[in-house]
């Protein structure tokens, strides 16, 4: 059963105005939903379900590619760089909240163009070098277009966050048309993922406003995790040889 669509986390006035603009209401529909929030939400759900459908399919395409790579590495290499994979499509609440928060126009094509993390996959690897290997293997496939790369491993965020973010565009072939769907892929080590998960939980607990002392502690812990990754990478290179390719030098 689909989860109920609410307006949690969105200011009421701009939300209602945004939803009415999003569904492109005509005169008949305007009269039908006037003062009926439940009917408005039903119409929004119906419209967004169709909009989100290609992201479900695009994510399946990406997941299939990841599974094929993982299966190949299981057979052909002594070490499979892929440890775990998680996928998700943004909930309607989460999507609506981001649309209003970022000021995205209430137009579905504009939303598809601007909001590129509606569908997302997170790949966890053992070593930093593995993150770049997996990124290269995915981005170099002929039916995938690399739209954007953000390397927060080489360029760590002030918070201490480290991860490799790719926006990969994959074609989804429907019965009457082809839609190029952007999917965000985050690739990180186990240490990076542990830190990011803990930081996310703390941010949720403190409603995004972490105390200064806790922020400083998290930065310190992130540095410790990065040191662990670095040391493990050195040990690995001593055993297996030079680092694996990055997106830039592959």
The per-residue pLDDT for 230 is 92
| CB 187, CB 163: distance < 8 Å | yes
Residues 46, 122, 53: CA angle, nearest 5 degrees:
20
The per-residue pLDDT for 48 is 86
Pairing of strands 119-125, 178-189: parallel
Which uninterrupted H or E stretch holds 96?
helix 92-102
| CB 51, CB 181: distance < 8 Å | no
pLDDT in tens for each of the 250 residues of the chain?
A: 334 444 444 333 346 677 777 777 554 455 556 666 677 778 778 888 889 999 999 999 999 999 999 999 999 988 899 999 999 999 888 888 888 888 889 888 899 899 999 999 999 999 999 999 999 999 999 999 999 999 999 999 999 999 999 999 999 999 999 999 999 999 999 999 999 999 888 887 877 788 888 889 999 999 999 999 999 888 888 777 665 554 454 4
Among residues 72, 184, 230, 240, the one annotated as catalytic is 184
The per-residue pLDDT for 6 is 44
The helix-helix angle for 190-205 and 212-240 (nearest 10°) equals 170
Other CB atoms within 10 A of residue 37 CB: 12
The per-residue pLDDT for 54 is 95
| CB 168, CB 147: distance < 8 Å | yes
Residue 168 token pair: 């990969």
The per-residue pLDDT for 193 is 94
Q: Is 147 exposed, middle or buried (0-12, 13-18, 19+ CB in 10 A)?
A: middle
Whether 184 is a known active-site residue: answer yes
Question: What sign for the dihedral angle of Cα 234, 237, 238, 240?
Answer: positive
């Amino acid at each position: 059963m689909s989860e109920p669509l609410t307006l949690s986390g969105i200011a009421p006035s701009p939300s209602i105005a945004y939803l009415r603009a999003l569904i492109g209401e005509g005169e008949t529909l305007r009269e039908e939903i006037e003062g009926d929030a439940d009917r408005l939400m039903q119409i929004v759900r119906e419209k967004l379900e169709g909009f989100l459908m290609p992201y479900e399919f695009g994510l399946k395409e990406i997941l299939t590619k990841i599974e094929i790579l993982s299966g190949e590495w299981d057979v052909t290499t002594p070490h499979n760089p892929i440890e775990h994979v998680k996928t998700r499509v943004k909930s309607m609440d989460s999507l609506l909240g981001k649309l209003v928060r970022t000021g995205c126009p209430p137009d579905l094509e504009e939303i598809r163009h601007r909001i590129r993390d509606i569908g997302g996959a997170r790949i966890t690897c053992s070593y930093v070098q593995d993150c770049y290997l997996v990124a290269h293997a995915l981005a170099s496939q002929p039916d995938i277009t690399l739209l954007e790369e953000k390397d927060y491993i080489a360029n760590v965020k002030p918070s201490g966050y480290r991860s490799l973010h790719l926006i990969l565009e994959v074609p989804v072939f429907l019965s009457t048309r082809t839609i190029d769907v952007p999917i965000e892929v985050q690739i990180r080590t186990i240490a990076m993922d542990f830190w990011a998960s803990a930081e996310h939980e703390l941010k949720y607990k403190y409603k995004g406003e972490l105390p200064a002392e806790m922020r400083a502690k998290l930065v310190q812990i992130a540095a410790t995790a990065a040191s662990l990754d670095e040391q493990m990478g050195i040990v690995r290179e001593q055993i297996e040889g030079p680092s694996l390719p990055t997106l830039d030098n592959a």
